Amino acid sequence: MSSKYKDIKHIQSRIIVTKDNSKTLLIPELDETYHSTNGAITESKHIFIKEGLLYSQRKKLNVFEMGFGTGLNAFITYLTSINKNLNIDYSCIECFPLPYSLVKQLNYSSLLKATDLDLDFEKMHLAKSEELLELGNFNFTKYLNAIQEQKLPKNHFDIVYYDAFGPKVQSELWERPLLQKMWDSMKNEGVLVTYCAQGQFKRTLKEIGFHLESIPGPPGKREISRALKLS
Ligand SMILES: C[S@@+](CC[C@H](N)C(=O)[O-])C[C@H]1O[C@@H](n2cnc3c(N)ncnc32)[C@H](O)[C@@H]1O
């Protein structure tokens, strides 16, 4: 794990408002945010839902998220599973869980017009490591662990949301050992999506064997990456 991140993990992040009026968290010491400052909800819907979850066109999916963070991607995936009648087994990992008292202040459920599901969002945050939450057609499991240490099932995930902090902050999370781990955990025809379009990262994906697509990103991001496991 990056010592840079480890050193500052006790320092409080601060809430900021992004351009679509949704909030995110900023870690001032790293000048790093949990979501795009051009729109947190817009980013999540565009990259992970539209270009990942819905791109696959499957009705039953195993999804893995690297970096649960505020839970925004997980919550929007949950809402999508309800609206589109999808059966989702959602697994995610987080080694520095945020206090729910802070996450609550982001008001995601009200911005997403889903205050009736507030309690489910809270349950996701309060869930213990590896506790299974059954929320209708959406099964949720969170590993409270570092991705480097977590054993993942082989050939299991249809979709991977790769939502780590950027390579400038945590370069090791964008290098071959972990990306190979993602490949191994994915089914054939599985899809990994991420906001990252860095050259070295894309070369590493190709070396591993991924078929790489550079696709248009949300506002403020010309290009994002989608990597397909076609073997
Ligand atoms: C960009 S944020 C994720 C944002 C999140 N997807 C959301 O919707 O709020 C990256 C997350 O990865 C977590 N993280 C950092 N290093 C990690 C590691 N080695 N293993 C697991 N999680 C890690 C951070 O604590 C942070 O919550």
What one-character-per-residue DSSP string does 147-190 give? TTT----SS-EEEEEE-PSPTTT-GGGGSHHHHHHHHHHEEEEE
Pocket test for ligand 1, best of 37, 79, 93, 194 (most atoms within 8 A of CB): 93
Q: What is the mean pLDDT of each run of 10 residues along the chain (231 residues)?
A: 53 91 94 96 98 94 98 98 98 96 97 97 98 98 96 98 95 97 98 98 98 96 97 78
> Would you state the pLDDT for residue 9?
59
> Would you state the pLDDT for residue 10?
59
> Would you state the pLDDT for residue 209?
98
CB of 69 closer than 6 A to ligand 1? yes
Predicted TM-score (pTM) of this structure: 0.96
Shortest-distance atom of ligand 1 to CA 9: 25
> Would you state the pLDDT for residue 6?
56
Q: How much distance in Å is there from the Cα of 93 to the middle of ligand 1? A: 8
Q: How much distance in Å is there from the Cα of 94 to the middle of ligand 1? A: 6
> Would you state the pLDDT for residue 12?
78
Pocket test for ligand 1, best of 8, 44, 161, 165 (most atoms within 8 A of CB): 165
How many CB atoms lie under 10 A from the CB of residue 47? 27
CB of 94 closer than 6 A to ligand 1? yes
- Give SS3 for 117: helix
